[in-house]
Chains A and B, each alone.
Chain A
Amino acid sequence: MSLFIQQVLNGIMLGSVYSLVALGLTLEYGILHIPNFTHGALYMAGAYVTFLLATSAGLNFWLAMVISMIALALIGIVMERLVYRPLMLESPLSSFIAAIGMIFIFVDGALYIFGPDFKRFPPVHTQVFQVLGTTITFQRIIIILVTVILIVLLHLFIKKTLVGATIEATAQDMEGARLMGINVKRVRMMVFALGTALAAAAASLIAPIHLVHPGMGGPVILKAFVIIILGGMGSIPGAIIGGFLLGLVESLSGGYISTSYHEVFSFGVLVTVLAIRPTGLFGGK
């Protein structure tokens, strides 16, 4: 029983991280209409920035995370402006290749600058609870809490502010939005900033537990893709629900079945779903 609770909690924690990443990805997809493959590399970059600030500069963890989110948001904006914008009218393959190019730059750059070893940094909160006979670290609860706060903030932003409305409008119909006087360029930049910041947040949150290394973005981005396909590319609720679901599936299957094949499970689920519904669970096209 206690193993079960551990796994469930672990799953929800993983799910939080996946949700944040998937959210950023789905927001970007809603505007770009192509999946941003560089998202994983930016996730990794976010973790490193937080790591640097928290260790070498000795800043408070939360401060470091916020600064990292801002820094990555800026990088996201630059990327959108310099790379994705010129390729807007080309075939999606071009954007995809450009994304791969950028992945190389980020990942190998990180490899070169920081080396391949896993960097650790001390968890922020080391208190430990006992619930129903299981040991739970406060750190994990914090991750879930922060994620929920971020999701709620995002929801409020999109639904309750004018800026959020412009984002929704542009995601639905770029031409129409433009005709309504919405500055589509600025919306694109903003969405990128938002999406990248979310990735940075996710990476920073999980970093104390899963450590930081140049390849950390790879598996996460693949899972994020699984999530947004299952939940519907461009759908926010889909990303959130899908993220938590995947986290739970992974954790439970990893705990009860086998850890080396747990990635196969996630992808197996995806492949099965696609075979039955080629446009994803909630996909429209």
Chain B
Amino acid sequence: MEIPANLYSPKRLIVLLLILLAFTIPFFVTSRFYLHILIMCFIWGMAATSMNLLMGYTGQVNLAHGAFFGIGAYAAGLLILKLGVNFWPALILACMITVACGFFIGVLALRTKGSYFAIGTMCFNVIVTVIIDSWEELTEGARGLLGIPRPSPIPLPLGGQITFASMPSYYYLVLIFLLLTLLVIYRIVHSMMGRSFMAIRGNEELAESIGIHAMRTKLLSFLISTVFAGLAGVLYASYIGFLSPEISDYHVTFEFLIFCMIGGLGTLGGPLIGAFILTVISELLHGVAVPRLVAYGFLLVIIIIFLRGGIVGGVRMLWMRFSGGEGR
């Protein structure tokens, strides 16, 4: 449990600096390649952070997360392309659709626990992918959905408008949504609601005996995590402009899982850090002969065995060793 840090603690300062840095990056990094990497890091980071709410903080291993990412992406893409809906309302609608699916799947899946829940949600993930792939009249199936436009310009009060065709502008868009996601999840984690989630993670029976409605609490956590997965999906759709059923595949879910584990489950910054490191590594290794996933695989196994709390966990341990512990 993270004790709320006081206002001027080093942790807060670092976070503030990082946010400032993030905002100023487009001014000195103009290469499209690097901006692209950062944008992808942000999108994956959003998805991983929201997965962490359910998995790291509420202790439920949800393997359907990729499906919700895909549902959000496809919902937005289809609304924009086939129904001619403007990007912004489409974004909201797509998130609502994702939550609706999340509700349906969650209510069924959360009746199970532990390994059964993991496998059940994985099956849902596969079902969703198969449906997207096979329902060609709706989703264009394996041909993919092409030509999803960038967000429509936002008119400014004094004339002129913000457009999103350029890389830096999309960078800021995604950055803002990422910060929004982080803020919401931060608030939740540091609240009584967050404590309920963690109580369920700790010992579900005990939590019930002190009056916590397990099913409702788990479902809430599930739904919140799906909203942001869907949101990340929408941003992905509009950025890449092209969707195929693979983006809802269980491989995607596994990648999110890895980001969380490597960065540190149950920590706020962990999934983001995991997303960053792995996305950067994977992009940089793109042309290299060594198969990327094999490297991932080894990295994963080694980190799991030797560095249990992920990177953030490791850093915390080091910090405690050097500062002589903080009463904990």
Contacts and interface: CB of A to CB of B under 8 A. Distances in A.
Q: Do A and B come from one complex?
A: yes
Interface of A: 34-35, 83, 86-87, 90, 92-94, 96-98, 100-109, 111-112, 222, 225-226, 229, 233, 260-261, 263-264, 267-268, 270-271, 274-275, 278-280, 283
Interface of B: 55, 61, 108-109, 111-116, 118-120, 122-124, 126-127, 130-131, 133-134, 254, 257-258, 261, 265, 291-294, 296-301, 304-305, 308
Contact of A102 (B134, B292, B301): B301
Contacts of A275: 108, 111
A270 B300 contact: no
16 contacts: A83-B301, A87-B305, A96-B61, A100-B257, A101-B299, A101-B300, A101-B301, A104-B297, A105-B297, A108-B294, A112-B294, A222-B123, A267-B123, A267-B127, A271-B120, A271-B124
A109 B291 CA distance: 7
Contacts of A229: 116, 119-120
B294 A104 contact: yes
Interface centre among A100, A226, A278 (most CB of B within 10 A): A100
A260 B120 CA distance: 20
5 closest A-B pairs by beta carbon, nearest first, are A104-B297, A101-B300, A105-B297, A108-B293, A101-B301
Given A225-B119, A271-B120, A97 B294 contact: no
A86 B96 CA distance: 43
A98 B305 contact: yes
Given A222-B122, A260-B133, A278-B112, 18 more contacts: A93-B61, A93-B261, A94-B304, A100-B300, A101-B258, A101-B297, A101-B299, A102-B301, A104-B300, A105-B301, A108-B292, A112-B294, A225-B122, A264-B127, A267-B126, A274-B108, A274-B116, A274-B120
Contacts of B292: 108
Interface of B is mostly: helix
A155 to B, nearest CB: 26
B297 A108 contact: yes
A261 B130 contact: yes
B123 to A, nearest CB: 4
Contacts of A35: 115, 118-119
A124 B150 CA distance: 56
A94 B308 contact: yes
